Amino acid sequence: MFYPWPIHALFRLAAAATAPLREAIREAFQAQVYPLGYVPSHDGMRGLMTLGVVTAHVSHTLVPGAVLYIDLFFVASAYYITGLLLRDIDKHGHIRFRQFYARRFARIVPPLLLMLAAYLLFTWLLRPPFLPAVERAAIALSYISNYWYVFDPKTIEDIGHTWTLSTEEQFYLLWPLTFVFLVKRFGVTWRLVGAICAIAAAIWAWRVALVLDGAEWRRLYTAFDTRADALMAGCAMAVVLRLVPHGASPALDRLWPKLAWPLLIYWGTVTFLFWPADGPSMNYYLFGSMVCGVLPGILALTMLARSHGTILHRIFEWPVALFLGRIFYGIYLWHLPILNFLDSYGVWWPLRLAIGLPLSVLAATLSYAYLERHFLRRRARPVAPQPPPIGVVPAFVPTAGFAADLRFSSRQGTETVRP
């Protein structure tokens, strides 16, 4: 009876101290505009999976299958972006490129600049030499980290996780123009879906050819031209959901809730039990990415958007998961520099997780409350958290950088995912 009171009091003090931050985030999040609708369970999914990514970067054996989250997150990102492009075409008859890129800049760049500034400051004060850190920051800001890692991984090891930001930024630059061309050629029809799938198949075939030619894993893992099949799958998913609105197929509407338990069992077993403990083999690049990550990811995202009240909805709509989902981008940005900083001082890996994860969440919370929320648009009232309207692709808030490279763990070799 002596010990619970201080612990309980500590939690109450922590809750009271963080109340202003939590309120700022809540208000900012409510003020966001979700032009495609809001799916709370998508938020919770990315929040919990981000925790899995952070844990895997400390010791991949704790969450060996987290490498498949990369494919799911790429699918989700492309799904959201293509939904926005379709909305522009519906509402304005064309894609408003200026507004599109302004939104991407406002969402992605300010938090990245803050993280890089803090990284440079801490390097200057505590971890010299300073000039290599400046070089790393310049590479990250140029959005070429994914290809830089292929040829010189040592240069960017501290912030190597920015390869995913580079991959998505390259997608943002190329896909709107490509999508305009495809829509003019095929319209928003099943022929458009076929064309997007053909691009995905070509990218997949290119990666298989590289594998058969003996390419090393770095060439396959981070390069845009070998990972864009997952992005194309998400683009096709957005068009399909547009062509098959909710209610158009009663049989499908009855099927989606039934997939919740199989998907939960699948993601649980593949994450913790069935994925190789020593990291993905070349089979991952041949077929594992698409079969084990992309396709189940499409089913999970669609099931969450086209049904409600399932076991997965209850898990992903847990308030803690929703909160983490709101600040997931910041958690992703901050976690690897923090973990590597702790690693450079020889901190034991359980302590790195116990210290690094809370620090990452704290940094992300401060970033969201005092920086990111000022860039959120306030042009309309938010959509109430309910199942998306019929025929509308639900929103998935920009996932820039969400896909996490599980090879960029803290630099202790025994804890890094191997090819």
Residue pLDDT, tens place only, 30-39: 555 555 567 8
Residue pLDDT, tens place only, 333-368: 999 999 999 998 899 999 999 999 999 999 999 999
Determine the Cα–Cα distance for residues 68 and 296; give it in Å rounded to an integer.
10
- The amino acid occupying position 44 is G
Q: What is the pLDDT of residue 158?
A: 86
To the nearest whole percent, how much of the chain has pLDDT over 70?
A: 81
| Whole-number Cα distances in Å, 214 to 76, 220, 289 | 30, 10, 18
Centre a 10 Å sphere on the Cβ of residue 208 and count the other Cβ atoms it contains. Answer: 15
Determine the Cα–Cα distance for residues 3 and 38; give it in Å rounded to an integer.
43
Determine the Cα–Cα distance for residues 291 and 287; give it in Å rounded to an integer.
6
| Whole-number Cα distances in Å, 380 to 29, 33, 35, 322, 383 | 13, 6, 9, 22, 9
Does residue 393 register a pLDDT over 90?
A: no
Angle at CA of residue 387, ends 381 and 390, nearest 5°: 95
Determine the Cα–Cα distance for residues 161 and 407; give it in Å rounded to an integer.
9
Q: What is the pLDDT of residue 186?
A: 96
Does residue 64 register a pLDDT over 80?
A: yes
Rounded to 10°, the helix 295-306/250-258 angle is 110
Q: What is the pLDDT of residue 10?
A: 53
CA neighbor of 396 nearest in space, from 27, 100, 40, 103: 40
Tokens describing residue 330: 């910041």
- Helix, strand, coil: what percent of the chain each, to 5? 75, 0, 25
Residue with tokens 């498949």: 68
Q: What is the pLDDT of residue 165?
A: 95
State pTM to two decimals: 0.84
Residue pLDDT, tens place only, 242-301: 999 888 888 899 999 999 999 999 999 998 888 877 777 888 999 999 999 999 999 999
